[in-house]
A and B are shown apart, each in its own frame.
Chain A
Amino acid sequence: MEQRVIEAEHIVKKFGNFAAVDDISFYVEKGEIFGFLGANGAGKTTAMRMFCGLSRPSSGKGMVAGLDIWSASEKIKSRIGYMSQKFSLYSDLTVGENIRLFGGIYGLDEERMKKSGDMLLKKLDMYGEKDVLVKSLPLGWKQKLAFSVSVIHDPEIVFLDEPTGGVDPVARRQFWELIYEAAGRGITVFVTTHYMDEAEYCDRVSIMVAGKIVALDTPANLKKSYGVNAMNDVFTIIARNAGRNE
């Protein structure tokens, strides 16, 4: 059996009477690119924060990288990478300073930091920008840098919360090639996106509506079972049905 790096069983997160995440169960296997889809407000970010050890469920069980999300949330943080759309790098530090800062936070020693940092700059073709403030980089570059920093410590899993929102088509593709490559190295990728062509790049996707997972399968199987040719149509059908049930 493939190794499972995320396992969720009946996870619920309530804010007052409102269940932002309403009894979700699923697993993610090692090295998978798992797409976590849903409309704005469906509960994706709330769920992701629980898997990253940033908040606790109201009920249910969960394991991330073999660690319990109830009892080992601090340990989980050192075994994963996390990148959010809104906050990912310090804009008033340079590229090099950000790499050192995050390398330090993720516990790299001086030697490994130097080696990983140099490799990262070389791979992104950003050696010339080492001393440039992050705020003066184009968004596409920032996001590629943020991703590379979030996997600088070779985590078991990296969580990406809408990493390509607002990024143009060329830069989005460059970003996904970094994801492919990380997955090829055995890093599990858990990603949310609003771009349905990106959903096609995932090994499996889940679609959340109002706190529940209403569909979960490979893109090919989802398209087959909804009788359509593109993930965009799957998403539209599911969202439309949800509107009727509310």
Chain B
Amino acid sequence: MIKAEHISKSYVSAGHAPVKALDDVSFSVSDGELFGLIGPDGSGKTTMFRILVTLILADKGVASVNGMDVVKDYEKIRNSVGYMPGRFSVYQDLTVNENINFFASLFGVDKEESMPLIEDIYGSLRPFGNRLAGALSGGMKQKLALCCALIHKPDVLFLDEPTTGVDPVSRKEFWQMLRNLRSNGITIMVSTPYMDEADMCDKIALMQKGMILALDTTENLISQMGNQVWGVSGNNMYKLLCDVRSYRGTLRCYPFGNSHHVFFNSQEPDISDFGNYLWGCGNENVKIERLEPCIEDCYLYITDGRRI
């Protein structure tokens, strides 16, 4: 179990005002849960990870991992958690096998003992055992990093944006692996900018400016939105976007794949008036329909409206 209570952290650098990275953040993650931290760059996700894996100290608040305090028991925590930091995680100038051997010896473990746990992931890397990590594709690099983070059979995994820049098919594979690990009883805390991945977490925390704006299962977050999302499409999508925004009943409108998603000021908007307005602006083939909201709608609804 991971527990954070009233954690605050500011970064101070000479000649600048202190930057508040975390502002009174509290949450807990149950054993065996797949927990997602979702938020824009600079929202404090990485700082939260670094505090929990004992790399930096919080200014205020307490945190623990499986009952071990992040300050007092830092050595024990380091031996029982796996951590995949965002950018740097494997040595590019070592081969696949050298990286795995290196991390195994760091933790003083026999890699053969961990094989049953990582077999599923290592299997696809085996043919490339003698290839330099730097020469692997993005998806393969992340698989290798995950193997290295799992080599000492940790109880808790911390993954900071493990799939950023990885193509959609490799991302899907990576998440299938995470779900398999969870079914082995490993607790996983993961951050991601991809909303389809947020959907695969048991619970998510939406973060912005060092605070948690919402924390719940994706189902609950979505059902709290009700049915206030509408989809609009037409022939000239950019003109349509500008026109929807200029309509007096529009609260917000976003491009959203093949349609624009609209939130109105009123719960029961006058759709025929809206349609007439768009038609009057010269839009053709306008289609308006009520939509089932998805997690990305929640994110946009909860986090936007502020300058980010």
Contact = CB atoms under 8 A, between A and B. Distances in A.
Mutual binders A and B: yes
Nearest to B172: A236
A138 interface: yes
A169 B307 contact: no
B91 interface: no
B61 interface: no
Interface stretch (B146-154, B210-218, B222-230, B297-305): B297-305
A181 B241 CA distance: 12
Interface in A130-189: 138-140, 162, 165-171, 173, 176-177, 180-181, 183-184
Contacts of B193: 166-169
Interface in B142-184: 161, 164-170, 172
A180 B167 contact: no
B256 interface: yes
Interface in A182-203: 183-184, 194, 196-197, 200-201
B41 A166 contact: yes
Interface in B258-308: 258, 296, 299-300, 303-304, 307-308
Contact of B300 (A140, A170, A180, A183): A170
Contact of A239 (B166, B169, B296): B169
A235 interface: yes
A140 B255 contact: no
B165 A138 contact: no
A170 B164 contact: no
A182 B206 CA distance: 32
Nearest to B296: A169
Contacts of B164: 165-166
A69 to B, nearest CB: 27
Given A39-B170, A140-B308, A184-B238, A168 B41 contact: yes
Contacts of B137: 40-41
A166 B296 contact: no
B195 interface: yes
Nearest to B295: A169
Interface residues of B, number: 33
A103 to B, nearest CB: 25
A25 interface: no
B238 A180 contact: yes
Contact of A169 (B166, B168, B300): B300
A232 interface: yes
Given A40-B139, A40-B170, A184-B238, A173 B41 contact: no
B254 interface: yes
B255 A173 contact: yes
Nearest to B297: A169
Interface in B113-165: 137-139, 161, 164-165
Residue of B193, B241, B299 most packed against chain A (CB within 10 A)? B193
Contacts of A38: 167
A176 B237 CA distance: 12
Given A168-B40, A169-B195, A196 B168 contact: yes
B231 interface: no
Given A40-B137, A168-B40, A173-B255, A162 B238 contact: no
9 contacts: A38-B167, A41-B138, A138-B40, A166-B41, A168-B193, A168-B308, A169-B296, A173-B254, A177-B241
Interface of B: 39-42, 137-139, 161, 164-170, 172, 193, 195, 237-238, 241, 254-258, 296, 299-300, 303-304, 307-308
Given A167-B193, A169-B195, 7 more contacts: A138-B308, A167-B40, A170-B40, A177-B241, A194-B166, A230-B257, A239-B168
